[in-house]
Every structure is written in C-alpha cells, then in structure tokens.
Amino acid sequence: MAKVALITGVTGQDGAYLSEFLLKKGYIVHGIKRRSSLFNTDRIDHLYQDPHVDNKNFFLHYGDLTDSTNLIRIIQETQPDEIYNLAAMSHVAVSFDTPEYTANADGIGTLRILEAIRLLGLTKKTKFYQASTSELYGLVQEVPQSEKTPFYPRSPYAVAKMYGYWITVNYREAYGIYACNGILFNHESPIRGETFVTRKITRAVARIGLSLQDKLYLGNLSAKRDWGHAKDYVEAMYLMLQQESAEDFVVATGITTEVREFVRMAFENIGVGIEFKGEGVDEKGYVVSCANAEFSLEKGACVVEVDPRYFRPTEVELLIGDPKKAQDKLGWKPKYDLKMLVDDMMDSDIKLMKKDKYLQDGGYNTLNYFE
Ligand code: NDP
Ligand code: GDR
C-alpha cells in the first residue's frame, strides 16, 4: 500500500520540492492550498493532475491553518501516515506588520493540526513534522547553534514558531504522537519567494545585467546566514519521519555568509566584480570590473544601495548551524554548496528576466514590483 502524506503549505517553496520528492518515492500526496483571487499554484503546476482521470496520486484541498474544522475534515478524509506542517506566514519582516495573524497561523495553526490528530484517534498512525526554524535562536547565545542551544526569538514570526516548537514537543510527550521539529536554517532555490533576500538579489542582479533595472536596494548587508538549497532540506524532513522514534534535528550547512558576500557572488555569476564602499546606510556597491560582454556594465556604476526601510525593529545578526546530529543519525548530507546554490538561482533568474526583456522590447508590460 502506498503511504499517504498530507502537506500544508504545498504551494510554497518547500511544499513544491517535498511533493515532488514524495511522489517520486511512490507516496500519495495531499496538499492544502489557500483560496486566493489569482492562481497560486505556479510552483506545483507541473505536478497537477486532471481531477477527471483515474489513478491520481496528487490531490489539492482548499484550507487554511486558521480554520480548525477544515483541518479536522481534511485529516479525517485523507487519513495520512505523515503530515508535514509547512504552511506559515513565513516572512520575518512582514510578521512585524501582521503579528496577530502570524501568531494565529504559525503558532495556533500547529496546535490545530496536533489536536486534530488527537481528536481523530490518529496518535498511533499519523507522524507529524513541524517546520521549525533557526529564527528561534535569534539573539546569539552560542555558535554554532545546535539542538541544545537556548532560544531567544527576535520577531513575532519567531515567537509564534516558538509556540509551534514547544507544542510539538508537548504533544509528543503527552500523547505519544510521533512528532518532530526540523530546526531548519535558511534554505533557498530558484523558486524561493521573491521578497526573501537571496531571491531579491538574484532577480535584481539578472535584471541589472540585462539593463532592465539600475539599482538594487537592500537593508542590513552585514547579517550572516547559513544558506543551503531547499532540495537538500526537504530530504531531511522526510528522513526525520522515518526513524524509530521522534526527535528534533538541526538542518544546516555549518557555513555562514554575509548578505553582502551573497550579492558579490551573484554579480560574479554574470562576470561583474563589485566592491562595497561606506558604512551602514551610506554603504553602496560599485562595479569594479565586467568581464562578460553579454552583461556589460559601466565601471564605477553604483548598483547596490542600502535603504533603511528594509531594516527590522529587532534583527537576527548571525546564524550558523551545527548539523552533526542530522548527519550522524539521519545520514543527511547536502549536495549543494553556496556557489552551486547562487549559480542555480542566477541561471534560473537570468532565463526568467530574458523573457521579461523580450516582452518589454516588444512593448508589453512586465511585473516591476520590488520589496
Ligand atoms: P513559503 O512562504 O514559500 O510557503 C509558505 C506556504 O504556506 C505557502 O504555501 C502559503 O500559501 C502557505 N500559507 C501561508 N499562510 C497560510 C495559512 N494561514 N493557511 C494555509 N496555508 C498558508 O515558505 P517556505 O516554503 O520557504 O517554508 C516552509 C515552512 O518552513 C514555513 O513554515 C517556514 O516558516 C519554515 N521555514 C522556512 C525556512 C526557509 O529558509 N525557507 C527555514 C526554516 C523554516 P500561499 O502560497 O497561498 O501564500
Ligand atoms: P530570514 O530571511 O529573515 O532569515 O527568514 P530573509 O531572506 O528575509 O532575510 C535574511 C537577512 O537578510 C537581511 N536583509 C534583507 N532581507 C530581506 N528580505 N530584504 C532585504 O532587502 C534585505 N536586506 C538585508 C535581513 O535583515 C536578514 O538579516 C527566512 C524565512 O524563510 C523564514 O521563514 C525562516 O524561518 C528563516 O529564513 C530561517
């Protein structure tokens, strides 16, 4: 019998890669998607199956983490062997603007699913994965950060996720549910949301190279993140649910890099050298060389500038994870390093932006929204 997985947040970056991964393993995959006024299934359209044909193995259900009755009904109908709770208001900066909604979806949403498992009598059948985060570490207590490092959340997002983390531990201990937290450090990909810093950078660098845009505005260039590839990280989620007993795991590369270095690497991908000058809000990045005729940029042009509107009320300055437990117990090892990640994202965004350029040159409007 094929195993059945239910994925919340199936339309997001991780939901799309995890669906692909589980379908390849022979799972029947159910995903919960929100109703929206525009199509929101771009990332999973290649997995979509016509509802009128037989032998389908990928199903979508309308739902929302803020609606208990809907979650209970979907879990009852699908009787999943594994639930991956990936749905969340996942943008740290936006959580300062929508703190109550973030607490409801990211914090109480996790409780709603665990309670559904309990109320439906599925505590022995259904395994649960919670998308916990390195943002829990927040203000640096120790480096590198491991499963034993104390938490100090620094945003409404991280505080909500802290509730999700502990309620997962509590339901494991109280009711014997196989429930795990994956404490994942930042992971990116060509389908990363456009307003997270890596994708904002790769999109903008591709556009600047193709003369579709002059400048990229960023916030804190000194923040350090432990960046991996989402394709590697969804494999760790799956492995966590295949163990003898449920435990929590850090998933990270163990290497940390400044935002400004990510910018430099993205420009390097198109043969453009840049150097940063100034400090804080005065910091600017200038083209120092351009070795690629296709993306020729004028030497001395200022292509990056700090805009304080992207600063956060409280910032997480340094994240670096210790993946030893995941390596030892799960046998997990990432295939991508940072250069491979940057190159993968750049290649994809250059292709996308060439399409935009073609449309613009033909007199058509293209999306021109940057945040
Ligand atoms: P995305 O933002 O790409 O995807 C989030 C998903 O959640 C989307 O499918 C979104 O739907 C859905 N969603 C948002 N709010 C609700 C809601 N109220 N009810 C139902 N669905 C909702 O995130 P990622 O794929 O990057 O991350 C997956 C999970 O992992 C998130 O929980 C995130 O917080 C966490 N995480 C991510 C890390 C990362 O670096 N990517 C690191 C650590 C943790 P829609 O498409 O309609 O917006
Ligand atoms: P993060 O990711 O907050 O770590 O959360 P994000 O890419 O948004 O920020 C990373 C760092 O870059 C700095 N930064 C900017 N960030 C954005 N978005 N836009 C900018 O213009 C900009 N300039 C500098 C930020 O200040 C920050 O320090 C991500 C999300 O996926 C969470 O859901 C997840 O839990 C964590 O990663 C681990």
In the reported structure, the alpha carbon of residue 193 is separated from the centroid of ligand 1 by a whole-number distance in angstroms of: 9
In the reported structure, the alpha carbon of residue 205 is separated from the centroid of ligand 2 by a whole-number distance in angstroms of: 17
**Residue identifier of the C-alpha nearest atom 10 of ligand 1:** 9
In the reported structure, the alpha carbon of residue 344 is separated from the centroid of ligand 1 by a whole-number distance in angstroms of: 21
Alpha carbons 150 and 152: distance in angstroms, whole number: 7
pLDDT at 172: 98
Q: What sign has the CA pseudo-torsion 252, 257, 260, 264?
A: negative
Predicted confidence band of residue 54 (pLDDT cuts 50, 70, 90)? confident
CB distance 266 to ligand 2 below 6 Å: no
H-state helical runs in the chain? 13-24, 68-78, 92-95, 99-102, 109-119, 156-175, 197-209, 230-240, 259-269, 324-325, 338-361
**Residue identifier of the C-alpha nearest atom 28 of ligand 1:** 86
What rounded mean pLDDT belongs to the chain?
Answer: 97
Ligand 1 nearest-atom number relative to CA 135: 43
Of 38-42, 52-56, 142-146, 252-256, the range with the lowest mean pLDDT is: 52-56
Burial 42-75 (b: 16+ CB within 10 A, else e): ebbeebeeeeeeeeeebbbbebbbeebebbbebb
CB distance 74 to ligand 2 below 6 Å: no
**Residue identifier of the C-alpha nearest atom 27 of ligand 2:** 223
Q: Which residues contact 207 (CB under 8 A, 6 or more apart)?
A: 213, 353, 356
Task: Give yes or no for residue 100 having a pLDDT over 70.
Answer: yes
pLDDT in tens, 271-327: 999 999 999 899 999 999 999 999 999 999 999 999 999 999 999 999 999 999 999
Ligand 1 nearest-atom number relative to CA 185: 42
Alpha carbons 9 and 6: distance in angstroms, whole number: 10
Alpha carbons 266 and 290: distance in angstroms, whole number: 13
Q: Which ligand is nearest to the CA of 192?
A: 1
Predicted confidence band of residue 55 (pLDDT cuts 50, 70, 90)? confident
Please choose, from the candidates 20, 19, 39, the residue with its C-alpha nearest in 3D space to the C-alpha of residue 31: 19
In the reported structure, the alpha carbon of residue 139 is separated from the centroid of ligand 2 by a whole-number distance in angstroms of: 15
Please choose, from the candidates 91, 160, 80, the residue with its C-alpha nearest in 3D space to the C-alpha of residue 120: 80
Alpha carbons 128 and 29: distance in angstroms, whole number: 15
Domains delineated in the chain: 4-184 (3.40.50.720), 197-224+258-318+337-361 (3.90.25.10)
Enzyme catalytic residues? 133, 135, 157
pLDDT at 369: 61
pLDDT in tens, 82-97: 999 999 999 999 999 9
The token duo for 42 is: 């771009």
Asked if 311 contacts 243 with a C-beta cutoff of 8 angstroms, the reply is: no
Task: Give yes or no for residue 50 having a pLDDT over 90.
Answer: no
Test site for ligand 1: of 60, 89, 90, most ligand atoms within 8 A of the Cβ: 90
CB distance 144 to ligand 2 below 6 Å: no
3-state helix, strand, coil in the chain (%, to 5): 40, 20, 40
* Amino acid, res. 293: A
Matching residue, tokens 């409007």: 365
Which DSSP string do the residues of 25-38 spell out, in sequence order? TT-EEEEEE---SS
Predicted confidence band of residue 53 (pLDDT cuts 50, 70, 90)? confident
Please choose, from the candidates 263, 255, 259, the residue with its C-alpha nearest in 3D space to the C-alpha of residue 229: 255
Ligand 2 nearest-atom number relative to CA 223: 28
Termini Cα distance of the chain: 46
Q: Which residues contact 187 (CB under 8 A, 6 or more apart)?
A: 14, 227, 228, 229, 230, 232, 233, 251
Please choose, from the candidates 193, 94, 133, the residue with its C-alpha nearest in 3D space to the C-alpha of residue 319: 133
Does the reported pTM lie above 0.80? yes
What mean pLDDT is predicted for residues 203-211?
96
Find the helix packing angle between 13-24 and 230-240, rounded to 10°. Answer: 60
Q: Which ligand is nearest to the CA of 230?
A: 1
Q: Which ligand is nearest to the CA of 199?
A: 2
**Residue identifier of the C-alpha nearest atom 5 of ligand 2:** 92
Whether ipTM > 0.90 holds is yes
What mean pLDDT is predicted for residues 125-141?
98
* Amino acid, res. 265: M
Test site for ligand 2: of 130, 161, 197, most ligand atoms within 8 A of the Cβ: 197
Q: Which residues, judged by CB distance below 6 Å to any ligand atom, belong to the binding site of ligand 1? A: 8-9, 11-15, 34, 36, 40, 64-66, 86-90, 105, 131, 133, 184, 186-187, 193
Alpha carbons 179 and 182: distance in angstroms, whole number: 10
pLDDT at 371: 65
* Amino acid, res. 159: V
Alpha carbons 285 and 305: distance in angstroms, whole number: 7
